Amino acid sequence: MSSSDPTHNDRPTGLRNWLDNLRQVLAGEPRDREELLELLQDARERNLFDVEALAMLEGVLQVADMQARDIMIPRAQMVVLEKDAELRVALGTVVDSGHSRFPVVGESRDQVVGIVLAKDLLEHFLESPEGQFNLREYLRPAPVVPESMRLNVLLKNFRVSRNHMAIVADEYGNAAGLVTIEDVLEQIVGDIDDEYDVDDEARILKHTDKRYTVKALTPIGDFNEYFGTAFSDADYATVGGLVTHAFGHLPKRGEKTLIGNLRFKVLRADSRRLHLLEVLRKDGGAPAVPEPAA
């Protein structure tokens, strides 16, 4: 694009330079995706753009090949509300999970009747904490997408509809899981900070006297010092290793285990390791080194 193009000159200098560098790469006329990736790698080595830009470009190419089923939260791990739930029960789920949107289910988890926003429940509680409450009055339509939907198409649907969550349906029309716009974007840009995230300098974040968020990479020694526990660091270097051992397998998001008087809940994990945990102090009992689950 020539410099006489007014839209070209209106772009920020950094973005304009980045796009110009990308055009240089594409000028190599790659014949397939493998050649394109090789050209992008070569461009990175020549410092045409940085590692983060390369990762995002690779992520953009990847989402076109991935489907909703690849990144969805499985039905069994969904945090849901029952359609007849009382207000305090619903608010308890909101507080415990920290999420802002919740599928509402009917007779079973595979029957999603709508979505409820946490802010709607909080508004009702503030305005009429002791008044009549019917969760179904706050239901919003639950967008439904097939398991086979490509992520690039799903992202476009999210943008057009302005929805942030969709229910993933199986071939029979039942809920197989859910997916959020954040799940899709993280395939491109990597992990997005949310309400559970802990600063790089602080591996442990205290919410209340009983509830904490802990990075799985927290050294056992640091964890012991903070919580007054006595876990051995001879077998596990990190809290993530300790919890994985307690499960007896690599747990997925939402799974829980009790070690002594501490309940561990997986907040974030991938196919290789744990990333973030919720730690809840339980009354009574002393922490003990766990035995692997059967």
- CATH number of the domain that residue 247 is part of: 3.30.465.10
Q: Within 13 A of 217's CA, how many CA atoms are on the CB side?
A: 9
Tokens 């990075």: give the residue. Answer: 215
179 & 232 share domain = no
Cβ pair 94, 85 in contact under 8 A:
no
Write out the residue range of the structural domain in which residue 94 sits: 69-189
In a domain, 87, yes or no: yes
Return averaged pLDDT per consecutive 10 residues of the chain, 294 residues in all: 45 55 58 74 76 75 82 85 89 82 89 91 80 87 93 92 92 90 82 52 79 89 92 85 91 87 86 83 55 42
What pLDDT is recorded for position 65?
A: 79
Contacts of 108 (CB under 8 A, 6+ apart): none
Element at 168 (helix H, strand E): strand 165-169
214 & 183 share domain = no
What pLDDT is recorded for position 289?
A: 43
In a domain, 54, yes or no: no
Count structural domains, the chain. Answer: 3
What pLDDT is recorded for position 87?
A: 87
Our CA angle for 97, 186, 34, nearest 5°, is: 155
In a domain, 63, yes or no: no
81 & 180 share domain = yes
> What letter represents residue 80's amino acid?
V
90 & 180 share domain = yes
114 & 156 share domain = yes
In a domain, 194, yes or no: no
74 & 182 share domain = yes
